[in-house]
Amino acid sequence: MRDADAARADGLSTRAVHAGAPSPVPDAPVVQPVFQTTTFYTAAEPAAAVRYTRYGTNPNHEALGVKLAALEGGEAALVVASGNAAMMLALLTLVSAGDGVLAQRELYGGTLRLLLRELPRLGIETTLLPFDGDWAGGMTDRTRAVLTEVPINPTIRVPDLPAITAAAGARGIPVIVDATFATPINLRPLEHGATLVVHSATKYLGGHSDVTAGVIVGRADLVAEAREKLISFGPVLDPHAAWLLDRGVKTLAARMTVHNANGLAIARRLAAHTAIEHVDYPGLEMHADHERARTLLAGFGGMIGIVVRGGDAAAVRMLERLRLMRVAPSLGGVETLVSMPRYTSHAALPRAERHALGIADGYVRLSIGIEDADDLIRDLEAALDG
């Protein structure tokens, strides 16, 4: 196997293809097979830790761990059954009863569920603040983890990650970053002082809308602790799903190049369209965080938020007229998917709270795929003009 040390000298595309891949010895397979097995033979008296798929030590898990750690520049990585499982295990690695979590209020709804519904039942208190609020002032003696999402779903705002990690670092508090929208191609949070990176690998890492998975990357001791939580709670990734994810990650860098280019081209075109009131895309000069995005991100990604003039009814009419883009929640796949956050990720919130998060009436989120940008633009313009 091409190990993490060798991979560190490689570029990101090379790491995506080769890190964790089988050693090129004669008759070995070029592609690691699926180890579709729950368990592995041992000696009657095992000399080392036994392998067991639920422990995340199936070879398909381990190969992916090497690849993802190499891509993020972390010591180790753990793959689990979903993004939400990864977030829960990351949080439980850092916090226990009596501790507090300081998080931004603009988070994926499923993360807010964990923070506000589940953690309090375990005696863990969450304090929320606006992503551009006073992080240092929000930290107390109880705070044992700081949590941010970069960029933010669905407004693509870009928190000041170096400032957040500096404030937390000054108090020795670890920082978890959900970098699902960025992927390691556009942002590697560990380089900016983060402690653990979490991804919903269901999105860009898998890239084909066919695998549900999650990832935790960071220091080896913390990832080992997260594995202990995996062993206890059991949200393991099935080996075949791990194999599919591995295949998806191999093309991550190539796909992100197209997502970044398509996102920018389409955001620019939408910004000039009279049926659109507003476009949220950090690659546009008018975006509130454009300057920060330029320094922090290697690419602006494929996620765009738009406000359709005429409110929700006009937005629904536009969605109904699309012929190439499909209406579905989720994101990060090769195909363009669009959705209205008020019916999906932010359905549980009252209108005023949605507005406070920047989700106006008529808000549509676009996950731009890798189709030809001209075809996507034609589809959007026909739907808007129709």
Ligand X SMILES: Cc1ncc(COP(=O)(O)O)c(C=O)c1O
Q: How many residues belong to the site for ligand X (CB under 6 A)?
A: 13
Q: Which of 2, 51, 157, 178 is catalytic?
A: 178
Interaction residues for ligand X, span 203-222 (CB under 6 A): 212, 214
Strands 303-308 and 363-367, by their bridges, are: antiparallel
CB closer to ligand X out of 143 and 209: 209
Cα torsion 356, 193, 203, 220 to 10°: value is -140
- Interface segment toward ligand X; rule CB under 6 A; list 80-88, 117-125, 261-269, 373-381: 80-88
Query: Is 55 an active-site residue?
Result: no
Smallest distance from ligand X to CB 295, Å:
22
User: Cβ of residue 88: shortest distance to ligand X, in angstroms?
Assistant: 10
Q: How does DSSP classify residue 384? A: H
Q: How many residues does the chain have?
A: 386
Q: Identify the residue among 84, 104, 186, 195 touching ligand X (CB under 6 A).
A: 84
Active site residue 108: yes
Q: Site mask, ligand X, residues 150-179, x = CB under 6 A?
A: ---x------------------------x-
Exactly one of 108, 204, 281, 363 is catalytic; name it: 108
Applying CB under 6 A, among 53, 155, 165, 202 the residue interacting with ligand X is 202
Does residue 110 touch ligand X according to CB under 6 A?
A: yes
Part in contact with ligand X (CB under 6 A); list of ranges 44-52, 76-84, 94-102, 120-128 = 76-84
Interior angle at CA 172, CA 171 and CA 174, nearest 5: 120
Among 72, 106, 149, 160, binds ligand X (CB under 6 A): 149
Query: Cβ 255 to ligand X, closest distance in Å?
Result: 17
Using the rule CB under 6 A, give the single segment among 26-34, 40-48, 79-87, 286-294 that binds ligand X. 79-87
Report the nearest approach of ligand X to the CB of residue 354 (Å).
Answer: 16
Give counts: helices (H), strands (E), the chain: 15, 12
In DSSP terms, 304 is beta-bridged to 366
Question: Which residues are bridge partners to 345 per DSSP?
Answer: none
> Using CA atoms, how far apart are residues 87 and 203, in angstroms rounded to an integer?
15
Q: Which is nearer to ligand X, 53 or 367 (CB)?
A: 367
Sheet of 303-308, strands arranged across: 276-280, 303-308, 363-367, 337-339, 326-327
Q: Is 247 assigned a catalytic role?
A: no
Report the distance separating Cα 196 and Cα 198, nearest Å.
6
Task: Give the residue with the Cβ less far from ligand X, 62 or 149.
Answer: 149
Figure out which of the listed residues 53, 57, 58, 82 binds ligand X, where binding follows CB under 6 A.
82
Smaller CB separation from ligand X, 110 or 193: 110
Pairing state of beta strands 196-200 and 175-178?
parallel
Closest approach of ligand X to the CB of residue 109, in Å: 8
Shortest Å, Cβ 213 to ligand X = 7
93 contributes a contact to ligand X by CB under 6 A: no
Q: E-assigned strands of the chain?
A: 76-80, 100-104, 125-129, 143-149, 175-178, 196-200, 214-218, 276-280, 303-308, 326-327, 337-339, 363-367
Least Cα distance to 245 among 206, 203, 216 occurs for 206
Report which DSSP code applies to 23: P
Does position 225 interact with ligand X (CB under 6 A)? The reply is no
Q: Is 281 known to be catalytic?
A: no
Our finding on whether 183 is near ligand X (CB under 6 A) is no
DSSP tag of 39: B
Q: Please give the angle made by the CA atoms of 23, 79 and 195, to the nearest 5 degrees.
A: 105
Query: Which residue, 4 or 85, is less far from ligand X as judged by CB?
Result: 85
Q: Does residue 235 interact with ligand X by CB under 6 A? A: no
The CA distance from 252 to 184, in Å, is 9
Contact of 260 with 299, CB cutoff 8 Å: yes
Q: Which residues of the shown chain bind ligand X in the complex (CB under 6 A)?
A: 82-84, 108, 110, 149, 153, 178, 180, 200, 202, 212, 214
Q: Catalytic amino acids?
A: 54, 108, 178, 203
